[in-house]
């Protein structure tokens, strides 16, 4: 069965280019296009895609707001941010909204196809540049949700473009341990005290459960639980 993809971007030429390329992959089916976040929310309900490629800067409703609405209504739909924007707020905003991936528009076509397939399988898709931004955001001195030393170390290696297996070899740990640390980073990002309460708990549950004993200064940051989220398999 092919992976059903919805493309969301306010530029016609970008959508057309993505459609033309993705149609060459027999495992991917483009089921629709949207020019803004509001259209994306509506089409997601009607078309029930497996994966949504979501631009972030769009009129009417931006990609982060659209992702939040879609994930609230259809948690089974995976959203991958595909954008030219690379700033700290955009990366953490997309993660907090529920995106499973963050890619840049200069991503190579073959890598994009692989990312779509990975997202459909529940695997996190995070380009090194986005990992670096996420690390900077999480290590900001004004943030109470400090990363552990090991989480920081893992995120640095992700930012260098290393895969989980490579990180595991580098740190002499099992791959599942690396996945647990990635979960800790993402749960810390989305369960920040600055995350809106309407999205905080669903986001926390997505990345690691709702065990809030691992909290800092009142922020509800969950401690990764024994049963790992399937979304981290393969990350």
Q: Mean pLDDT over residues 141-152, rounded?
A: 65
pLDDT tens for 191-208 read 554 444 444 444 554 544
The residue count for the chain:
235
Confidence of residue 224 (pLDDT cuts 50, 70, 90): very low
Listed by start position, the domains of the chain span 3-125, 130-232
Q: Please tell me the CATH code under which domain 3-125 is placed.
A: 3.40.50.2300
pLDDT tens for 88-104 read 789 889 988 989 889 99
Quick one: pLDDT at residue 234? 42
Give the span between the Cα atoms of 204 and 190, in whole angstroms: 6
Give the span between the Cα atoms of 107 and 231, in whole angstroms: 22
pLDDT tens for 73-87 read 999 999 999 999 888
Quick one: pLDDT at residue 143? 53
Pairing of strands 125-126, 51-54: unpaired
Question: Is residue 25 predicted with pLDDT exceeding 60?
Answer: yes
Give the span between the Cα atoms of 119 and 18, in whole angstroms: 17
% of the chain surpassing 70 pLDDT: 73
């Amino acid at each position: 069965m092919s992976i059903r993809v919805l493309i969301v971007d306010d530029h016609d030429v970008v959508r057309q280019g993505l459609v033309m390329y993705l149609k060459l992959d027999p495992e991917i089916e483009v089921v629709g296009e949207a020019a803004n976040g509001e259209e994306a929310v509506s089409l997601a309900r009607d078309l029930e895609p497996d994966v949504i490629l979501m631009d972030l800067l769009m009129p009417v409703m931006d990609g982060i707001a659209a992702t939040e609405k879609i994930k609230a209504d259809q948690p089974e739909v995976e959203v991958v941010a595909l954008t030219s924007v690379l700033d700290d707020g955009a990366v953490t905003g997309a993660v907090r909204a529920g995106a499973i991936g963050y890619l840049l528009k200069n991503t190579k076509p073959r890598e994009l196809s692989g990312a779509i397939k990975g997202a459909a399988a529940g695997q996190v898709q995070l380009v090194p540049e986005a990992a670096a931004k996420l690390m900077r955001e999480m290590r900001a001195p004004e943030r109470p949700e400090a990363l552990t030393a090991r989480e920081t170390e893992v995120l640095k290696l992700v930012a260098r473009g290393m895969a989980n297996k490579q990180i595991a070899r580098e740190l002499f740990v099992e791959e599942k341990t690396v996945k647990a640390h990635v979960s800790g980073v993402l749960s810390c990002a989305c369960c920040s005290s600055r995350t809106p309460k309407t999205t905080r708990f669903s986001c926390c549950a997505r990345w690691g459960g709702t065990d809030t004993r691992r909290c800092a200064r009142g922020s509800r940051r969950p401690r990764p639980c024994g049963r790992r989220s399937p979304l981290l398999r393969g990350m």
